[in-house]
Structure 1
Amino acid sequence: MSGLEWGTASDQRFNVNLSILFTELPLLERPSAAAAVGFTAVELWWPWVDSPTPERSALDALKKAIEDAGVQLTGLNFYAGRLPGPDRGALSIPGEESEKFRANIDVAADFAESLGCKALNALYGNRVEGVDPAEQDALALENLVLAARTANTIGAILLIEALNQPESPLYPLVSAPAAVEIVDKVNEATGLGNARFLMDLYHLSMNREDLPSVIERYASKTGHVQIADNPGRGAPGTGSLPLEDLLGRLGKAGYEGWVGLEYKPGDGPSAAAFDWLPATARAAH
């Protein structure tokens, strides 16, 4: 896959996930590193894995780093536990983790609003041994409704993501239909319509889903797209996924949102992991 092909055939707006790329650098240096290779938009998992409510000084420092770099924050996760790590979200886990998620809702929304970020991602959480799945699902819906209502107050959407079964065996949303079902339930409960599907093409491919069919069925309910190649979760062109074709299908289906680059950079610095995308295609347009 050549850079020329991507530069001429795709019209997507790309952002860089600073929680998986540029991780060889301290958090506060990553926004400027993304800007240095031509990107104008970034996204983040919740950066403070041990705290849903970090000190104001930490929030202000990250805000300043993003503003000083001249990049736009376009997506942010709510608190999701140890990520990367064994956790896959907190909102469906009874007890302390669910309480942490609730404590984080306003903090994350306020931070997003301060930077003009309009998309907040809420990872569902793993199944817990000894807890009735129905109890977890009821708690999840309650917390997702709270998150959706708060997101709506800042003009943002709430994203709900499907992960993949091999890498996340305890996560219940391991198909596009499962995630979209939750999206629909949240929208029905709130009446706001701001819950949307996060379509991660890598995760869906790991689940062996028919990606053209997923795009055809769910593009209209999709609020964000993320990509990595498969196998390996590397940059486009390192595996066998026809990512350019799939993004073209998304565009034809009416998707005009961001495409998050959420892949492993491989050996060497992250700056070398973007050779597949010409510099002229990295800046949002």
Structure 2
Amino acid sequence: MTAASKLSYTVNLSILFSELPLLERPAAAAAAGFTAAELWWPFGENHTPSDAEQDALRKAFTDAGVQLTGLNFLDDLTKGARGTLSVPAESERFRENIPVTVALAESLGTRALNALYGNRVEGVSAAEQDELALENLTLAARAAHSIGAVLLIETLNKAESPDYALVTAEAAIAVVDKVNEATGLGNAKFLCDLYHLARNGEDLAAVIAAHADKIGHVQIADTPARNEPGTGELDFEDLFARLVAAGYTGRIGLEYRPANGVSADSFEWLPREYRAG
């Protein structure tokens, strides 16, 4: 039995099946054998989508029989933003979005909410941004806790996100600890994205060994091109085995771009019988 068979998977529909309209992607994931999916914030800059937009998204998932396992709070990745919670000019939009995201997550049974920290901005000190971030993450953690969800905090890679504030596992873990100390809830967790960490040159085995108890979710893509496992440099069987040995029981988020541009062709590395669950 391989380590991959001992884990469960969720497919990120903001990057996979992106050749299809958003509302068609849950059905496409189901056709490929998946029963779980996750999303970045799916409404662009709109921090308060209409009831009709939200209802349509819910229907797409429920009709497909796919569980939405993860959702981002407000971000706008299409414009190069990497979150809004530490950016003074965007902070109010983030706060207004918190109840919207939490209500949508609750209605779909989603129990993992990712809050991208945001880029450093000119004219504002790092200390000021970090203080604002802690305030907003505390609000988000408490809101997530109200529906039994965890709050995820993620490291991104410097090559693709040079202005992002958290570019090491240690930096993200430090924020996780501060949020948990502020709330006393313990529901802030590290989103361990193996692709971003590898691109930053981190020792993935060491990160897993040191921080397994604080990992709330894992996402993957091969390096350096961010395609499916088997197209690059990472030994996923070894990494999966390390996660299993460390006691990780969460899902593995497939957050990669298909090498040939066709999402349905990018899952050969994962036998169909492992995709559901």
Query: Shorter-chain TM-score: which interval?
Result: over 0.9
Q: CA deviation at 1:130?
A: 1.2
Verify: 1:261 aligned to 2:254, yes or no.
yes
* Offset of residue 21 of structure 1: 0.3
Residue 53 of structure 1: aligned partner: 48
User: 38-47 or 268-277: which moved more?
Assistant: 268-277
CA distance in 1, matches of 2:118, 2:249: 28
For 2:185, the equivalent position in structure 1 comes to 192
- Equivalent-residue separation in structure 2 for 1:98 and 1:258 (angstroms): 30
CA RMSD of aligned residues (A): 0.9
* Structure 1, unaligned runs of 5 or more: 1-6
The answer to whether residue 220 in structure 2 is matched with residue 203 in structure 1 is no
> Which consecutive unaligned segments of at least 5 residues does structure 2 have?
none
CA–CA distance in 2 between the matches of 1:268 and 1:110? 34
Q: Distance in 2 between matches of 1:219 and 1:27?
A: 33
**Runs of 4+ displaced beyond 3 Å:** none
For residues 196-242 of structure 1, what are the alpha-carbon distances to aligned partners after superposition, in whole Å with 9 as ceiling and x for unaligned?
00000000000100111000001110000000000100000000111
2:238 equivalent to 1:245: yes
Cα deviation, 1:61-87, whole Å, max 9, x if unaligned, reads 00000000001110000001x214411
1:39 alignment partner in structure 2? 34
* Pairing 1:222–2:215 present: yes
Q: Aligned equivalents of 2:18 and 2:211: distance in 1?
A: 32
Q: Paired residue for 1:171?
A: 164
Could you tell me how far apart the structure 1 residues matched to 2:152 and 2:251 are? 13
Question: Is 1:181 matched up with 2:174?
Answer: yes
Q: Deviation at 1:172?
A: 1.3
- Percentage identity across aligned positions? 64
Deviations 1:234-268 (A, max 9, x none): 00000011112111101100100010000011224
Instruction: Provide Cα deviations, 1:20-64, integer angstroms capped at 9, x if missing partner.
Output: 000010000000000001000000000011201000100000000
Which amino acid in the other structure matches residue 42 of structure 1? Answer: A
Secondary structure of the corresponding residue to residue 77 of structure 2: coil
Matched residue type, 1:13? S
Q: CA deviation at 1:9?
A: 3.4
Name whichever of 201-210 and 259-268 sits farther off. Answer: 259-268
The aligned residue for residue 18 of structure 2 is: 23
Aligned residues: 276
TM-score, normalised to structure 2's length? 0.98
1:131-183 CA deviation, whole Å, 9 max, x = no partner? 11111000000000000000000000000000011111101100100000000
Identify the residue that residue 57 of structure 2 maps to in structure 1: 62
| Aligned pairs for 1:107-146 within 5 A | 107-146=100-139
The 2-side partners of 1:261 and 1:12 are apart by 12
Residues 2 and 237 in structure 2, CA contact (< 8 A), matched pair in contact too:
no
Q: Could you say what secondary structure the match of 2:2 adopts? A: helix
